[in-house]
Amino acid sequence: MTQSVLSRNPLAEPITINQVRIKNRFVRSATMETMADEHGVVTQQYIDLYKRLSLGGVGLLITGHMYVEKNGRSVCGMTGADDDTQIPQLRSVTETVHASNAVVFAQLNHVGLKALPEPGFHKKIVSPSKTRNSATLSTEEISVIVDAFGESARRMKHAGFDGIQIHGAHTYLIAQFLSRWLNKRHDKYGGSLENRQRFCVEVYEKIRDSVGSSFPVTIKLDSYSYTYASMPPMIPLIRLQDALSTGRRLEELGIDAIEVSCGFNASRGAMPYKTALTALYANQGKRLQAQALKVLLTPPDLILNRRFWFAPNHNIRHIHAFKQSLHIPILGGSCLRDPAYMRNIVDKKQADMVCMSRPLIINPNFPKQILQGSQEPSTCINCNLCLLLIPLGKPLHCYHGKPPVPEETYK
């Protein structure tokens, strides 16, 4: 295919975020890799992953979330950004990506009440308001976490990353503060939407102070987030109008771009809880319980693993709402699988860039193939095994619908 044909493909057009030029409109959306050691230092496996991804044609890679302080990591294996000793290996990552003429942003996060207990490490699990498993953050502790975001951003800039993405979505700590259902505080961080936005704003401003005005700082926000926890009705943890308000406020303060995602009740395909729970018990050496769960969960598993749970492009209306309301670049992820639909999103200005994760787990070369003229959709079958096994400490991997055998795979 000639260059003149490729140049008419809106996905092939470059874009600039702050002062960083990105060669095309493809984004590798952040996905936790679980490829770090107990100190959060990335392994060679992590570097190799980013080499494959950057060679696959994607313009902007966003790392899986990195913890800004140890209590804020989900599990051991999550990448750390809380210590200068982590910088040399991360610099190897950025050098690898840059060798392919791609751009890489570091995603910073504190998972809050979604942190899981770790054997051998007394982790204080915290959240805006006390829950059964978490303690309420004091204002002093909030200030410490805000400072930790700033220090982590400084480290990532020193490691050669091209920008920062703040994780403000998926029911992690920032989203917990933003949600009126999870944030029951009565101080300056709770109550009104403006107060619930305060923690997010302080994190952004601290990071901006650390990296300067010419360094890209972006954020990932939920456009909506529901939970099935109390059906009926579903609880709206995050609502679109509140999310748009947060986006507008951050734009006024100078945020460079927003990736629009969504939280619970996002139609992302199968829900292989049988595999995840069986593996969890097998990991703990509880073989009899694992076998019992395998039998007991087989009937609901027949329903939860059906393809009708997957709805491609389900979030595009909300992404477009951000694009219409704001002037900064909008990055949109919406279970995108079809190349023609992706081109349409950018061509019709529903979003400025298209984000993918699972299609790149199964095939890192998917963007390159699209840019070369392929019309074939992703071969991802939306089994979600790649995501459900990550909290068990398993490295990011495509299982393509075939659960691993516990006796062979787990500890």
CB 81 within 8 A of CB 106: yes
Residues 6+ apart with CB under 8 A from 137: 126, 127, 128, 145
Average pLDDT for residues 194-209, to the nearest whole number?
Answer: 98
pLDDT of residue 235: 77
> Residues 35-89: pLDDT tens digits?
999 999 999 999 999 999 999 999 999 999 999 999 999 999 999 999 999 999 9
Tell me the DSSP string of 249-311: HHHHHT--EEEEE--TT--BS---HHHHHHHHHHHTT-HHHHHHHHHHTHHHHHHHTSGGGB-
pLDDT of residue 265: 59
Average pLDDT for residues 156-165, to the nearest whole number?
Answer: 98
Domain ranges of the chain: 3-268+311-379, 271-305+381-411
pLDDT band at 406 (very low <50, low <70, confident <90, very high): low
CB 351 within 8 A of CB 330: yes
Place of tokens 């230092």: 41
Find, among 282, 314, 284, the residue nearest to 406 by Cα: 282
pLDDT band at 275 (very low <50, low <70, confident <90, very high): confident
pLDDT of residue 411: 40
Residues 6+ apart with CB under 8 A from 192: none
User: For residue 359, what are the CA distances in angstroms to 56, 58, 93, 132, 261?
Assistant: 12, 12, 21, 36, 16
Q: At residue 5, does pLDDT exceed 80?
A: no
In whole angstroms, give the CA distance from residue 406 to residue 411. Answer: 8
> Residues 147-160: pLDDT tens digits?
999 999 999 999 99
pLDDT band at 277 (very low <50, low <70, confident <90, very high): confident
pLDDT band at 283 (very low <50, low <70, confident <90, very high): low
The token duo for 76 is 């051991």
Lowest mean pLDDT among 113-117, 182-186, 273-277, 307-311: 307-311
Find, among 345, 362, 354, the residue nearest to 53 by Cα: 362
CB 264 within 8 A of CB 238: no
pLDDT of residue 308: 63
Q: Which residues pair with 164 in a beta bridge?
A: 106, 217
pLDDT of residue 96: 98
> Residues 359-403: pLDDT tens digits?
999 999 999 999 999 999 999 988 888 887 887 778 999 988 787
> Residues 10-41: pLDDT tens digits?
999 999 999 999 999 999 999 999 999 999 99
In whole angstroms, give the CA distance from residue 410 to residue 393. Answer: 10
Average pLDDT for residues 286-307, to the nearest whole number?
Answer: 79
CATH for the stretch 3-268+311-379: 3.20.20.70
pLDDT of residue 380: 92
> Residues 325-359: pLDDT tens digits?
999 999 998 899 999 999 999 999 999 999 999 99
pLDDT band at 117 (very low <50, low <70, confident <90, very high): confident
Between strands 235-238 and 225-227, the pairing is antiparallel
Q: At residue 4, does pLDDT exceed 50?
A: no
Neighbouring C-alpha atoms within 13 Å toward the C-beta of 214: 2
Please indicate, yes or no, whether the overall pTM of this predicted structure exceeds 0.85. Answer: yes
| Helices 198-211 & 240-253 angle (0-180, nearest 10) | 30
Which one has a higher pLDDT value, 107 or 292? 107
Tell me the DSSP string of 102-115: -EEEEEEE--GGGP
pLDDT of residue 266: 58
